[in-house]
Amino acid sequence: MWPPVARFTTPEPATGGHIWTGRMWGMEFRFGGVLFDCDGVLVDSLEAAGAAWDVWAERYAPQFDYRTQMRHGVRAADIVASFVVADRRAEAESFLEEAEIEGAAGTHGIAGAASLTAALPGGRWAVVTSGTSRLVRARLDAVGIARPEHIVAAEDVTYGKPDPEPYLLGAKGLGLEPSVCVVFEDAPAGVAAARAAGVAAVVGVGDHLEGAEVDARVDDLRQVRVAGDTLILESR
């Protein structure tokens, strides 16, 4: 039996079962592997992505407003399909991908992401993203995070988040069962995907997790350190 949560120290009360409404410090999670979402977890691409989507919308979907209609954590192709007629979707997806890659230099690293990923054994962590493989590589390179050996990207799955397929493939790529993997996510769609995949634990990152079923939440990855096969969440 793999115990994902080893112990708790000095907890703050949480309410609503697993629906996270606060913080709990001194949490320790044993892991076989660690699966990271990319945008909002390892990199901050919000501003750069917004600029690319705005250019895209002018050309393909004037009715689309990135700030109010963007579904974070969902594949771009699935959003494009909601706004663009079928015979223009491939063209629209390609245009958007190129625009986002061109803007990758405007991406910033999430605090603590580079040091946390560097502290993990190379074959025991992966990125599971709703972006394309070219885009995630461009963004990781832009912020100086070494690419992991395994990346699950939009084109690798039939169904994107919140379907469990991305996280099932992420665990499989590490040669592990999902039940020994800890996931870091910033969006409810990604949290739902991880839960449906049956992972050991989900750590939420940031402030956009209302109603998401996470085991803990951190502001950024400076609050996480590695000790052997254990992730330790700490107060700042």
Domain boundaries, the chain: 5-12+24-44+107-233, 46-105
Interatomic CA distance for residues 108 and 112, integer angstroms:
12
Interatomic CA distance for residues 213 and 209, integer angstroms:
8
**What is the model's pTM?**
0.84
Judge whether 207 counts as a catalytic residue: no
Per-residue pLDDT of 140-171, as tens digits, reads 999 999 999 999 999 999 999 999 999 999 99
Domain 5-12+24-44+107-233 CATH class label: alpha beta
| pLDDT, position 14 | 35
Q: Which one of the listed residues 39, 44, 186, 215 is annotated catalytic?
A: 39
Judge whether 37 counts as a catalytic residue: yes
Q: Which one of the listed residues 37, 44, 186, 215 is annotated catalytic?
A: 37
Euclidean distance between the first and the last CA atom of the chain, given in angstroms as a whole number = 32
Q: Is the dihedral of CA 188, 192, 193, 199 positive or negative?
A: positive
Per-residue pLDDT of 196-211, as tens digits, reads 999 999 999 998 888 8
Residues 6 or more apart from 74 whose CB is under 8 A from it? 130, 160, 161, 189
Q: Taking phi first (over 0 means left), then psi (-120 to 50 degrees means alpha), and beta for anything else, what does residue 211 get?
A: left
Per-residue pLDDT of 39-66, as tens digits, reads 999 999 888 888 988 998 889 989 988 7
Nearest residue to 70 (alpha-carbon basis) of 90, 47, 91, 94: 47
Interatomic CA distance for residues 45 and 52, integer angstroms:
10
